[in-house]
Chains A and B, each alone.
Chain A
Amino acid sequence: MALSITSAIPDPDLLDLPWNLPLDLWPESTIVALPKGISRHLVRFVNLAGYVVAIKETTAELARQEYDMLRSLQRLEIPCVEPVAVVTDRVAEDGEALAPALVTRHLRFSLPYRALYSQALRPDTATRLVDALAVLLARLHIGGFFWGDVSLSNTLFRRDAGAFAAYLVDAETGKLYDQGLSTGQRENDLEIGRVNIAGELLDLQAGGRLDEDVDPVAVADGIVAAYRQLWTTLTETETFPEAERWRIAKRVERLNDLGFDIEELSISRTEDGAKVVIQPKVVDAGHHSRRLLRLTGLDAGENQARRLLNDLDAYRATGGREALDEEQVAHEWLAKVFEPVVRAIPRELRGKLEPAEVFHQLLEHRWYLSQKEGRSVPLAEALTAYIEDVLRHRRDEITMVNPPTATLTVPVGVIGPSSPLPGADDEEDWRAKV
């Protein structure tokens, strides 16, 4: 059978997949039932040796385009799924041509928004998701990427020390602009995001999966506020008297706190020489992640890194380690604090959460126990309690399998004769529901 696979990271196992069948007919034995967002193309998940890939049937041009786009975004260090391959020239047994496919690697420990709640989506979870999406959008815009289809469905979320980190999944409608984005383009993305998020939450509401305290429109509006605030902090021009030069350091600190580094700051004087004008020109997300990676070699989410670094700093401040070199203390902290915790997790529980997230939750649990018992509970003691009382009862999130979610694919472009399908939902007066 003819087949053509283009890939930068070729995996021979890809050849074993039943490419001669339309994706919707692939045997259940091949398919991994992962929850999906709402997609306009058919997307299914498949287990390769050691990892899961998402396969999307689309056109050759779109698959190629999206593959290249995801590679470009990776080079810009934008959080997104990893493109694996473009598969074209698929032919069925009877000789009929089959749709080309894009293969991306499933992000370990990532969750679609529909899997982030067991009963109904809670207000604080909804808000944290939207906040994470606002950060992702600002990062994309800084990189000159116009998304064109901002939505919860096109995003995957990873737990990040009490918050979420958002990853772009679908770059099909996106475009990179070398000269950066205009205000109009950014505003348009924001408006698309607002409408899509509202639609997604209204859909959860219609399906009885949204906590009744959540106002879909208000939460959706939240992305606009969160994004604007972040964008202003990242890009606004500040003017102050020469004597207040400490404000330069303050600005750097403020951005660091938000998780951004300033790569380039423009500093100038006003014409009369009385005032200083500063404006960040190039900012880079991942301030804490990078510091943690440099000190310990650990790769963690931005908030997880912040949390671990706080613990590391506290470790340094105690036991007479202040005088020691930061790298040296980090090495010691890793060997004596972090790694023992990770090693203590029973093997069968290691698929529950990422190690950095486990460490964060352990610190939370220790705080909770200390509050309850009115004493400083040692880490080792808290660890035993955490494993038995918390971790053991969590679901595995390494590759989330449940709950299976209903998704709907809109076949693009089929405008055929009106032919209602049997089994329609109960008719009700639609006016009550607009």
Chain B
Amino acid sequence: MATVTFDKATRIYPGSTKPAVDAIDIEVADGEFLVLVGPSGCGKSTTLRMLAGLEEVNDGHIYIGDRDVTDVPPKDRDIAMVFQNYALYPHMTVAENMGFALKIQGVNKEERAQRVLEAAQLLDLEPYLGRKPKALSGGQRQRVAMGRAIVRQPQVFLMDEPLSNLDAKLRVQTRTQIASLQRRLGVTTVYVTHDQTEALTMGDRIAVLKDGVLQQVGTPRDLYESPSNVFVAGFIGSPAMNLFTTKIVSDGLQFGTGVAKVDRDVVASATGGTATVGIRPEDLQIKSSGEGLPVEVDVVEELGADGYLYGHAEVDGQRVDIVARVDGRKHPNAGEKIVVTPVPQHVHAFDSESGERLTKPVSAPAGV
């Protein structure tokens, strides 16, 4: 078990002036499940590969526990890349399939047997240890493959988009399995995905990257409720947060014919006379008329109990797309004109130039 520390770790590819990963600082606690998330090219996989020893670190350091592993070869880092290889060997028993890598490492027979047994117990595979893989169900086979990584008892598990080749249904099942197994094992895990839903459902904490720069590290709730800038606000959450630039007025931000109320000192710190307002789809209230932002409904997506309304508004002469969560049974229809207003305590405001958050972070409930 170990912590993982990125200390101003930087990766600059040869021939490039811009770092692929720029002075990243992250501390992963012992036993924590940390997810690195961001769009393609943000540096998340490079960050993981730096930790794995597959990418050179040009500046800064990486520690596993107290040990500086910046220049340690991959196989001496005591890490395991999980799901790299699913191959199971048909003539070997489940136990042999799980334990053969230990044999190569020179681990003695008693210890191999012990570690295989422990892993099998964790994975509910104990009754099948003497069987060949073909006698197992698909799910059991997959657990044997996981067992191969577990018996090595690494300090850290690394996973790089392990679910990317699964269809949607299996992805949901498998991510639940991985998350619960990680919690049972208590092994520090760093997991890379481009899918923010996967990040929100699996991680203890999430690190959001963009263009090689760390944007925010926090719990799923931190990121959802208090995104530190416009990028995180737009990236985390699906459908995405409604974001548009609007005028600062005396007691908040102009919101159509109404006002999205925010603290006076918040808007005082903004540069210029505008700010970016952010409202999540579930934080928009819908009225047929009155003060607020007039929206023309384009389409309503019904998802059973609730649904999403997609429409557009005009703000200072610019077309702005709006998404709002609606009741699945009772909602306006396409072509209707409605008015939306924000739920007061859920208005996010960002500096329209720097993109940084202006509103105070939403404080977590006591005890969290």
**Which A residues are closer than 8 A to B by beta carbons?**
38-40, 58-59, 61-62, 146, 148-149, 151, 153, 173, 179-180, 182-185, 187-188, 191-192, 194-196, 198-200, 202-204, 206-207, 209, 217, 220, 406-408, 410-421, 423-425, 427-431, 433-434
Contact = CB atoms under 8 A, between A and B. Distances in A.
A423 B135 contact: yes
Chain B contact-residue range equals 35 or more
Nearest to B131: A424
Interface in B46-88: 49, 52-56, 73-75, 84-88
Contacts of A198: 100-101, 103-104
Interface stretch (B136-144, B207-215, B292-300, B339-347): B136-144
The 8 closest A-B pairs by CB, nearest first: A207-B91, A424-B135, A414-B138, A203-B89, A430-B95, A416-B139, A430-B129, A206-B91
B183 to A, nearest CB: 15
Contacts of B55: 182, 184-185
B96 A433 contact: yes
B89 A410 contact: no
A427 B93 CA distance: 10
A203 B91 contact: yes
B91 to A, nearest CB: 3
B271 interface: no
Contacts of B174: 413, 415
Contacts of A40: 86-87
Given A59-B165, A61-B165, A194-B104, A188 B88 contact: no
A184 B130 contact: no
A217 B104 CA distance: 6
Given A199-B100, A406-B90, A416 B95 contact: no
Contact of A433 (B95, B142, B166): B95
Contacts of B88: 38, 408, 410
Nearest to A197: B104
B86 A414 contact: no
Interface string B90-115: 11111110011111100001001100
A227 to B, nearest CB: 14
A191 B75 contact: yes
Contacts of A207: 90-91
B173 A415 contact: yes
A410 B139 CA distance: 9
A179 B84 contact: no
B138 A411 contact: yes
A430 B142 contact: no
B365 interface: no
Contact of B138 (A184, A220, A416, A429): A416
B167 A407 contact: no
25 contacts: A38-B88, A149-B84, A180-B14, A184-B74, A185-B54, A185-B55, A187-B53, A192-B84, A199-B92, A408-B89, A408-B133, A410-B88, A410-B133, A412-B166, A412-B170, A413-B171, A418-B137, A420-B140, A421-B136, A424-B132, A425-B93, A427-B130, A430-B93, A433-B96, A434-B109
A316 B143 CA distance: 63
Contacts of B74: 184, 187-188, 191
Contacts of A410: 86-88, 133, 138, 141-142, 145
B78 to A, nearest CB: 13
Contacts of A434: 95-96, 99, 102-103, 109, 112-113, 116
B121 interface: no
A427 B131 contact: yes
A419 B89 contact: no
Contacts of A59: 165-167
A303 to B, nearest CB: 30
Nearest to B125: A418
Contacts of B95: 430-431, 433-434
B249 interface: no
A203 B53 CA distance: 30
Contacts of A433: 92-93, 95-96, 130
Interface string B158-186: 00000111110011011001000000000
Contact of B89 (A39, A202, A418, A421): A202
A180 B15 CA distance: 11
B367 interface: no
A54 to B, nearest CB: 17
A276 to B, nearest CB: 25
A14 to B, nearest CB: 24
Contacts of B231: none
B268 to A, nearest CB: 48
